[in-house]
């Protein structure tokens, strides 16, 4: 007698749960799936981290489908509609040039995520390689690299980014480079601290006795062990990266008008903050919510990926 579809689904679900809960995995793939399942359940037990993840996913979807979500041309100016309050025609009102704030906010999410993600892609590997190399090789290499890191850390990240972008020139690409150059030193410090404990491990000594070169040990054994901590750190740093990018845009050193970057939108709305406060409040609130989401999700990742937590 054939089983009903619901019974089959329930049986498959029980089989999957039993497979994931097996005390002894039968293959490396099953072991990895069990680890992912355990991490997912730990994430589900953290409502704040789930909320942060949901907000991040929502912002990514908004950025991905921005042309479908936006209700107006983000560059179209209509001075007869300037400084309109939020309404059915313009959900978040209009700015001083009559442009729809909602549509510009939607497309601005693309610029914000572009800056944040590309900065992370540059800063995280750079800090990871420099930190692990410094920690593993030690000696004069460690001294030189850490003194360079100390010089970078002596300046606040925003001030350092301002100096770099002032030297390179105002543009979104130069802002990304400047923020990345200011963001890698803390990651290098973290990777070095992790490496100092990892290099004393027995398996590192065994690999060294087998004749592996320092480069192979660093890239093949030390770096993978440091990645979880670096991922957590760069996720927590996303809020700082977003705020720095907004600060550069606010000062006119990041994305240039008429680009709908949130910091630039905030700068253009500051003149009307007392009479038409929503013009500055809406992009400011977007920056706040996005930064908070990355902080909440980063805290959750730390509990999952850092064995010293949870």
Distance between CA atoms of residues 49 and 60, nearest Å: 16
Q: Report the pLDDT value the prediction gives residue 60, as an integer from 0 to 100.
A: 93
What is the CA 10 to chain-centroid distance, rounded?
A: 38
Digit-by-digit pLDDT tens for the chain (310 residues) are 444 444 444 444 456 666 566 666 666 666 667 666 676 677 777 788 889 999 999 999 999 999 999 888 888 888 888 888 888 888 888 888 888 889 999 999 999 899 989 999 999 999 999 999 998 888 898 899 999 999 888 888 878 888 888 888 888 888 888 889 888 999 999 999 889 888 888 888 888 888 888 888 888 888 888 888 888 888 888 888 898 888 888 888 887 878 888 888 888 888 888 888 888 888 999 999 999 999 998 888 887 776 554 4
Q: What CATH code would you report for 94-310? A: 1.10.3720.10
What Cα–Cα distance (Å) separates residue 96 from each residue in 74, 100, 113, 230? 13, 10, 25, 42
Under DSSP, the state recorded for 84 is P
Phi, psi of 118 (to 5 degrees): -70, -35
CA distance 65 to 227: 31
d(CA 149, CA 266): 33
Would you mind telling me the total number of residues written for the chain in this entry?
Answer: 310
Report CA Rg, the chain: 24
d(CA 152, CA 163): 12
Structural domain spans, the chain: 94-310
pLDDT of residue 293: 92
User: Contact, 62 vs 236, CB < 8 A?
Assistant: no
* Cα–Cα distance for residue pair 205/289, rounded to 1 Å: 46
Query: Which residues, other chains included, contact 128 with Cβ-Cβ below 8 Å and sequence gap of 6+?
Result: 187, 188, 191, 223, 226, 227, 230
Q: Name the one residue in this structure whose structure tokens are 């490496």.
A: 195
Phi, psi of 100 (to 5 degrees): -70, 120
Report helix, strand and coil shares of the chain as percent, to nearest 5: 75, 0, 25
CA distance 179 to 156: 11
Do 92 and 105 contact (CB within 8 A), yes or no? yes
* CA 22 and chain centroid, separation: 34
How much is the pLDDT for 10? 44
Cα dihedral across residues 36, 302, 242, 160: positive or negative: negative
Query: In 10 A of CB 161, how many CB atoms?
Result: 28
- φ and ψ at 130, to 5 degrees? -65, -40
DSSP 222: I
Q: Cβ distance 245 to 254 under 8 Å?
A: yes
Q: What is the pTM of this model?
A: 0.82
């Amino acid at each position: 007698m054939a089983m009903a579809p619901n019974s089959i689904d329930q049986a498959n679900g029980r089989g999957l749960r039993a497979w994931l809960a097996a005390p002894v995995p039968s293959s490396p793939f099953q072991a990895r799936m069990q680890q992912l399942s355990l991490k997912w359940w730990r994430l589900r037990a953290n409502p704040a981290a789930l909320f942060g993840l949901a907000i991040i996913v929502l912002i990514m979807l908004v950025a991905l489908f921005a042309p479908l979500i936006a209700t107006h041309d983000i560059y179209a100016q209509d001075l007869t509609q300037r400084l309109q309050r939020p309404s059915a025609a313009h959900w978040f009102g209009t700015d001083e040039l009559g442009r729809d704030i909602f549509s510009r906010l939607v497309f601005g999410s693309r610029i914000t995520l572009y800056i944040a993600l590309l900065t992370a892609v540059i800063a995280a590997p750079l800090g990871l390689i420099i930190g692990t190399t410094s920690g593993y090789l030690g000696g004069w290499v460690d001294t030189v690299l850490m003194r360079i890191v100390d010089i970078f850390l002596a300046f606040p990240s925003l001030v350092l980014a301002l100096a770099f972008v002032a030297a390179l020139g105002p543009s979104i690409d130069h802002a990304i480079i400047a923020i990345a150059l200011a963001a890698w030193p803390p990651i290098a410090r973290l990777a070095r601290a992790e490496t100092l404990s990892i290099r004393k491990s027995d398996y590192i000594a065994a690999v060294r006795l087998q004749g592996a070169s320092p480069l192979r040990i660093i890239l093949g054994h030390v770096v993978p062990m440091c990645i979880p901590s670096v991922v957590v750190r760069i996720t927590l740093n996303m809020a700082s990266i977003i705020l720095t990018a907004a600060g550069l845009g606010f000062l006119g050193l990041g994305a240039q008008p008429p680009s709908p970057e949130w910091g630039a939108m905030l700068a253009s709305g500051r003149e009307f903050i007392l009479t038409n406060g929503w013009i500055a409040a809406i992009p400011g609130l977007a920056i706040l919510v996005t930064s908070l989401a990355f902080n909440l999700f980063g805290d959750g990742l730390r509990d999952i990926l850092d064995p010293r937590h949870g």
